[in-house]
Amino acid sequence: MNSDELRNKYIEFFVSKGHARITGQSLIPENDPTVLFTTAGMHPLVPYLLGEPHPAGTRLTDYQKCIRTGDIDAVGDPHHLTFFEMLGNWSLGDYFKEDAISMSFEFLTSPKWLGIPVEKLSVTCFAGDDEVPRDEESASVWKRMGIPEDRIFFLGRGDNWWGPAGETGPCGPDTEMFIDTGRDACGDDCRPGCPCGKYFEVWNDVFMQYNKQADGSFVPLERTCVDTGMGIERTVAVLQGKRSVYETEAFTPLISGIERLSGKQYGKDEGDDTSIRIIADHVRTAVFILGDERGVKPSNLGQGYILRRLIRRAVRHGLKLGIDRAFLSELADIVFERYGLPYPELIAAKDFVREELTAEEARFSETLKKGEHEFEKLLPNLKKSKSGVIPGRVAFRLYDTYGFPLEITEELAAEHDLTVDREGFEKSFEKHQELSKKGAEKSFKGGLADHSERTTALHTATHLLHKALRMVLGEHVQQKGSNITTERLRFDFVHPEKMSDEEVRRVEEIVNQQIDRDLPVSMEMMSLDEARAAGALAFFESKYGEQVKVYSIGDFSKEVCGGPHVEHTGQLGRFKITKEQSSSAGVRRIRAVLEDR
């Protein structure tokens, strides 16, 4: 079974079980400053798992594109990925453990669906601790499904517990499903979750049944939810009997393309294989970031910085393989061909993606030249050192200031009989990361799970701002993204030039006029076509015609949105734009606050 077949079978199965198919969302989270990218299928659904009614109902299913950036430096081995696809199904106060587990079991083992032999299936459940009891309920359901007691393992919070998203809130135990690959156990203690590779995790059912309190206690929830996740790449690998996701059709066409470009053969040399895997993963991820409906360009901040890092790391490993020309756009074409059907936004952005990849390759080429020039300037003093070692802080400055990779610094150093203090470089790098982390902790407050009065008010203000911008600048204005913390809103929109001071003043004036009118805020559910026919703005919405929420602010604004919102505009306070600047080519960015009256 390939990934297209798995994706389609999963959706078909859960639709047959009464789930509404919903649209997977953008890789760039809206109104969530806590993360750079959508990290899991449940991520866009957090408000609904926390109690917001979903327009499609209480049983949902979809496939979601995801990126996790914590393992970028680990990519290159046979297992790690930055981009992946996640299948999911959800119960919002509908079914719970019995139905969730029985559906998981049926999909995994039924010959009509995946047909995995029951004897290959092992599961884990929460072992319990001093605060929450052992999850005997899940274990008993698995036993009734036919999983024997010796293949049901009880593990602690590190393995079988989810949440809460913050310090308090919904959380609960989970049960994970593993396929026995048939490899020998690494020892008597080998069990699901063991890194030896005998057991391959394919699915996780999370049961949100507790509400963690500020005092650390766990109170049972009145409205319980189920959140599940199945990674497409990993599951396909185990279904095909592959030892690595890189051996599946998600990557084999890309690997073939890299072989053609480099003249290297995958599987012959581990060093080359590592570079090939890095290029394949990073190109795929870069295409999805650039081709997203809220796609960003390479930059030195946020998502753009991650994108730049991925592209440049891919180019650097291309150089290691002997590829001495621009090549990323050729590999991007392979990604378009492979993923254009399930993700049509990639095809729509094809020219943009190719242009940006080529431009960033050219910029990196200039960076390497500048770095080499700077290295040559430093060389006379470096050669005077009796130790023959380039200090780590110097190597890090080349990296941090010029984007010059450590490995190339080491190569140049070796040409002059010098070495680099790698340990010193790592210390400088860690110090830089720590400072960045502190800055992030200071900035990243709020998030999808934050429904505080401040973020709710600012979210409502973005609707007023959007309409006011269209009135002042023209109807070409479209929202390209927003980011809300408890202190401010950030709003990106399509506009070709800097706003004048008069335009900024006029937008502020219009928004504050609507606040002074104390307009009521109301919500209706309707289809996307009905919403557009009613005049609602909808730029980031569904592909499959499901029900959407339409928020109206009096007679002023009507927009498709997930919420949350205030009840009337008089609750907002005074609106003030603090900054208007460029975000990227053709996109402007406004930062604004709500001041007390």
Q: What's the count of helices (H) and strands (E) in the chain, helices before strands?
A: 18, 18
Q: How far apart are CA 573 and CA 575, in angstroms?
A: 7
Identity of the residue numbered 417? D
* Residue 561 annotated as binding site: yes
CB neighbour list of residue 530: distance below 8 Å, 6 or more residues apart: none
pLDDT of 226-244, one tens digit each?
Answer: 999 999 999 999 999 998 9
User: Can you tell me the mean pLDDT for 327-352?
Assistant: 96
What b/e string do you get for 155-193 counting C-beta neighbours within 10 Å, with b at 16 or more? beeebbbbbbbeeebbbbbbbbbbbbbeeeeeeeeebbb
Q: Map residue 116 onto helix, strand or coil.
A: coil
pLDDT for 321 equals: 95
> The pTM is what?
0.79
Q: Residues in the chain, how many? A: 597
Cα 304-305-309 angle, rounded to 5 deg? 120
How many angstroms separate the CA atoms of 330 and 346, rounded?
Answer: 15
Per-residue buried b or exposed e for 446-475, using 16+ beta carbons within 10 Å of the residue's own CB: bbbbbeeebbbbbbbbbbbbbbbbbebbee
* CA angle at 407 for the pair 406 and 413, rounded to the nearest 5°: 90
282 among the known binding-site residues?
no
In the predicted structure, residue 110 carries a pLDDT above the cut 70: yes
Q: Does 545 score more than 70 pLDDT?
A: no
Cα–Cα distance for residue pair 316/75, rounded to 1 Å? 14
138-152, 166-180, 455-469, 532-546: which range is least confident on average? 532-546
Residue 124's pLDDT band (boundaries 50, 70, 90)? very high
Indicate whether 479 pLDDT > 90: no
Q: Is the peptide bond before 520 cis (omega within 30 degrees of 0)?
A: no
Q: How high is the pLDDT of residue 287?
A: 98
Distance CA 163, CA 154 (A): 18
* 8 A C-beta contact, residue 192 and residue 153: yes
Question: How many Å separate Cα 29 from the centre of its chain?
Answer: 8
Q: Cβ distance 563 to 574 under 8 Å?
A: no
For the chain, the average pLDDT equals 89
Section 73-88 average pLDDT:
91
565 labeled binding residue? yes
The answer on pLDDT for 54 being more than 50 is yes
How many CB atoms within 10 Å of residue 348? 13
Domains of the chain with bracketed CATH: 3-243 (3.30.930.10), 251-365 (no CATH), 373-443 (no CATH), 453-595 (3.30.980.10)
The residues that bridge with 493 in the sheet, in sequence order, are 479, 588
- Going from the C-alpha of 5 to that of each of 104, 218, 287, the distances in angstroms are 17, 41, 22
Question: And the tokens for 212?
Answer: 């963690």
- Pair of tokens at residue 79: 């297992």
Phi, psi of 509 (to 5 degrees): -60, -45
- Taking only Cα atoms into account, the Rg of the chain, rounded to an integer number of angstroms, comes to 26
Can you give the pLDDT at residue 513?
96
pLDDT of 58 over the 90 cut: yes
Mean pLDDT of 86-95: 96
Report d(CA 412, CA 394) in Å as an integer: 14
Give burial (CB, 10 Å; 0-12/13-18/19+) of 339. buried
CB atoms within 10 A of CB 523: 13
pLDDT confidence bin for 443, thresholds 50/70/90: very low
Dist. CA 42–CA 62, nearest whole Å? 10
- Quote the crossing angle between the two packed helices 406-415 and 392-402, to the nearest 10°: 130
117 preceded by cis ω (within 30°)? no
Q: Residue 212: CB partners within 8 Å, gap ≥ 6?
A: 163, 164, 167, 168, 169, 170, 171, 218
pLDDT tens-digit map of 263-301: 999 999 999 999 999 999 999 999 999 999 888 888 877
Residue with the larger pLDDT of the pair 142 and 166: 142
> If DSSP codes are grouped into helix, strand and coil, which group holds residue 313?
helix
Residue 71 has pLDDT above 80, yes or no: no
